Amino acid sequence: MREEVINCKNQALAQIMGAKDASELEDIRIAYLGKSGKLTSLIKAIKNIPEEERKQVGILINQAKNTIIEEIANKKNSFKISPREWFDPTIPGIPQKIGHLYPTSIVISEMISIFKNMGFSVMEGPEIETDNYNFELLNLPKDHPARSLQDVLYIEEPEILLRSHTSSVEARCLEKLKPPFRVVVAGKCYRFENANASNNAMFYHFQGFALQKGVSMADLKGTLFRFFKTYFGEDRKIRYRCKYYPEVEPSVGLDLDCKFCKQKGCSVCKGRGWIEMLGAGMIHPKILKNFGYNPKEISGFAFGIGLDRIVMDRFKIKDIRSLYNGDIMNV
């Protein structure tokens, strides 16, 4: 019996050595290890040999079997060019339904992640607001010239309205939160506007503000530059200039170089070479006083960005109306 096993093994190894392809190897495997293979029949015959030898032979058969399996595998791997099935990789895949985030959501979360790294938290507030939070507390008393620039949508004139900027959330945070804090807000705002290519009755604002002892114009500049350079690229040029907003003093306007015309002047930048991106400044002392702070003891900055313009720029959307009217395809 022992000899038979050894012979069987040697025979198999010799055949494996001589095999020329995978199918020949498969034939060899069946011939030895298949249901009625040579080695398989020896295994079956093991019950016929004397008990005292059975264990020894069993071990031997097992070794032989493992060796054959191993050698077949080795030989298979040794074929340099293994024979393959014919295959058409150009056949189209079967479409699988996946979901997409909306462009505005993508931009908001990208922007938030940059500000989070600078220690900002995220907040929200009501869209149905009172005149008090939307205007009065923000140094925008009735008849203030800046009010006509943002004619509001009223629910109950003159007190209940749809917020015209996210500064209302700034007012609510100044009232509610304990400094120091740094907050960004992204949300829907509304104004009296007949829809055209660049204005909508609803739009998104992205607002940021910080209240902390020692915050200065230099911190504001650093924060804004860090954001714009991170989001739009280190090579972009930034213009940082004086502007007027009633909510801040001193006030800042920030422009980005127009990349469409490389600052030569085009329709996107209205020939200016610069695109107005944001308004900012140090929170107005009147506002700080409205919330019980002494401007000489604690300072803060605030900035506001029209978010839709960034979304349009990022996703090459030309007409603001298509942003929220179902025109955008998800593909």
Partner 1 sequence: MKIPLNWLNELVALPKNKRVLTDALTSVGHMLDKVEIVNGETVIDLELRGNRADCYCLVGIAREVSAIFGTKIKYSPSVNLTKVAKLKNTSLRVATPLVKRVGMVEIRNVKITKSPDWLSRKLAIYGIGSVNNIVDLTNYVMLETGEPMHAFDLDKIGNNLEIRLAETGEKIKTFQDLTLSLTKEDLVWAKAGNILSVAGAVGEKYHSISETTKNVLLEAANYERANIRRTVYRHNLLTEAGIRHEKELDPNMVESAIGRFLYIVKKYGWGKFIPEMYDYYPNKVNAWKVNLDFNYLRGLGGVDIPKKTIKKILLGLDFKIFKQSKDGLETLVPTYRTDVICEEDLIEEVLRIYGYDKIPAHTLSLEIPKDITPQFIRQEEMLRNASVSCGFDEVISFSFVKEDYSKYNLDPEVFDQKPICILNPPSPDTKYLRQTLLPNLLGNCQRIINEMGEEVSLFEIGKIYTKSKNKYSESRKIGFIFWQKNDSDFKVFKGKLDAFCNKSQIDLPEYINDIKNMPLSYSYNLKLENRIVGFGGKVEDIFYAEIDLDEILGKERKYISKLWPKYPPQIEDITLSFPEKTKIGDVIQTIKSVNQLINKVELTTIYKENYTFRIWYQDPARTLTDKEVEKIRKKILEEVKRKFGGVMKV
Residue 26 or 127: the one with the smaller Cβ distance to partner 1 is: 127
Residue 64 or 252: the one with the smaller Cβ distance to partner 1 is: 252
Minimum Å gap between C-beta 230 and partner 1 is: 11
DSSP three-state, residue 330:
coil
> Which residues, other chains included, contact 230 with Cβ-Cβ below 8 Å and sequence gap of 6+?
114
Q: Does 38 bind partner 1 (CB under 8 A)?
A: no
Cα of 91 vs its chain's centroid, Å: 31
Binding residue (CB under 8 A) for partner 1 from 182, 208, 247, 279: 182
The 226-265 contact track toward partner 1, x by CB under 8 A, reads x------------xxxxxx-x--xxxxx------------
Binding residue (CB under 8 A) for partner 1 from 1, 33, 195, 266: 195
Which residues, numbered 278-317, are part of the site for partner 1 (CB under 8 A)?
Answer: 282, 284-286, 295-296, 299
Helix 2-18 vs helix 51-78: crossing angle, to nearest 10: 0
* Segment interacting with partner 1 (CB under 8 A) among 52-60, 77-85, 132-140, 213-221: 213-221
Minimum Å gap between C-beta 298 and partner 1 is: 11
Residue 49 or 268: the one with the smaller Cβ distance to partner 1 is: 268
> Which residues, other chains included, contact 142 with Cβ-Cβ below 8 Å and sequence gap of 6+?
135, 136, 158
Residue 37 or 208: the one with the smaller Cβ distance to partner 1 is: 208
Q: What is the DSSP string of 161-227?
A: EE-SSTHHHHHHHHHHPPSSEEEEEEEEEE-S---BTTB-SEEEEEEEEEEETT--HHHHHHHHHHH
> Which residues, other chains included, contact 170 with Cβ-Cβ below 8 Å and sequence gap of 6+?
138, 183, 185, 207, 209, 247, 302
Q: Does 225 bind partner 1 (CB under 8 A)?
A: yes
Which of 187, 191, 189, 186 is closest to 149 using CA atoms?
Answer: 191
Q: Does 143 bind partner 1 (CB under 8 A)?
A: yes
Which of 16, 3, 27, 21 is closest to 68 using CA atoms?
Answer: 16
Which H or E element spans position 304? strand 299-306
Binding residue (CB under 8 A) for partner 1 from 10, 74, 82, 216: 216
Residue 42 or 140: the one with the smaller Cβ distance to partner 1 is: 140
Residue 38 or 284: the one with the smaller Cβ distance to partner 1 is: 284
Residue 12 or 248: the one with the smaller Cβ distance to partner 1 is: 248
Q: Whole-angstrom Cα distance, residue 186 to residue 92?
A: 41
Number of amino acids touching partner 1 (CB under 8 A): 89
With b for 16 or more beta-carbon neighbours within 10 A and e for fewer, the 273-300 pattern comes to bbbbbbbbbbbbeebbebeebebeebbb
Q: End-to-end CA distance of the chain, in Å? A: 70
Based on the number of CB atoms within 10 Å of its own CB, is 9 exposed (0-12), middle (13-18) or buried (19 or more)?
A: buried
Minimum Å gap between C-beta 24 and partner 1 is: 38
Minimum Å gap between C-beta 94 and partner 1 is: 12
Token readout for 256 is 């980005």
Question: Which of the 8 DSSP states describes residue 284?
Answer: P
Q: Does 148 bind partner 1 (CB under 8 A)?
A: yes
Minimum Å gap between C-beta 228 and partner 1 is: 11
Residue 89 or 95: the one with the smaller Cβ distance to partner 1 is: 95
The 160-179 contact track toward partner 1, x by CB under 8 A, reads x-x--------------x-x
Which residues, numbered 78-137, are part of the site for partner 1 (CB under 8 A)?
Answer: 97-102, 104-105, 109, 116, 118-119, 121-124, 126-128
Residue 33 or 201: the one with the smaller Cβ distance to partner 1 is: 201
